[in-house]
Structure 1
Amino acid sequence: MEAYSADPQRAQRGAEEIAAIAERVEKLRLAFMDAYRSTRDWTGYGDTPSKQFIPLNEKQGGGTERTVTSLADAYRGMSDGVEMNTRNIRQTQDGATTAINESGEGRRTAR
């Protein structure tokens, strides 16, 4: 039979660290969008080069934003999953502790 052990405090810290990564990725997205907005007018308007570059620029900028948003969402999802697992660990440990304590009390009262 295999033994099971877990450290819920350590798991919770891991969830918090992953959530912090999600926050940093979101800040990167916001910084990128600020920089992107400040340069997207550089192509000009109405002339042939701008008609070629504006759609490409918008496609690339939007694609980058969607990619970084997806990364932040993925990290948030991982953090949520680790937090859910942490709750399950605590419930399992609490249930086992309660069962052990109750079984010990039952033996003492049966004597």
Structure 2
Amino acid sequence: DDNVLVQGVSGDKTGLGYFGFSYYESNADKLNLVAVDGGGGCVKPSEQTIQDGSYKPLSRPLFMYVNTKSLAEKPQVKGFIDYVVANSAEIAKIAKIVPLTDAQLQTSKDELAKAEGA
């Protein structure tokens, strides 16, 4: 439970924990960030460094894979994927994850269009 981890880390001056960025944002008054060096110098986590991949190896992208046959043959699959793509920013906000950039969203739309044409 990340809430327990936040409580434990925030109560120990030398405590160290690993959890989602949204938990830091919700508890920024109690926690400090750690910059990591993934080979290009130390980088602190932020929405931008998570989106652009420079805060690595402690962040990772989330992917959704779609079976192209199901996409073509099952309207509910296409409907679900279309909904997720059209509402990705709101879904990210509700799920408390870092949203896609405009370029990443466009790449997702392009890949979906390719899959629909397959």
User: Do they superpose with TM above 0.5?
Assistant: no
- Choose 1 or 2 for highest CA Rg: 1
| Greater RCO structure (CA 8 Å; 6+ sep) | 1
TM-score bracket for this pair, using the shorter chain length: under 0.3
So what's the TM-score if we normalise by structure 2?
Answer: 0.26
TM-score (norm 1): 0.27
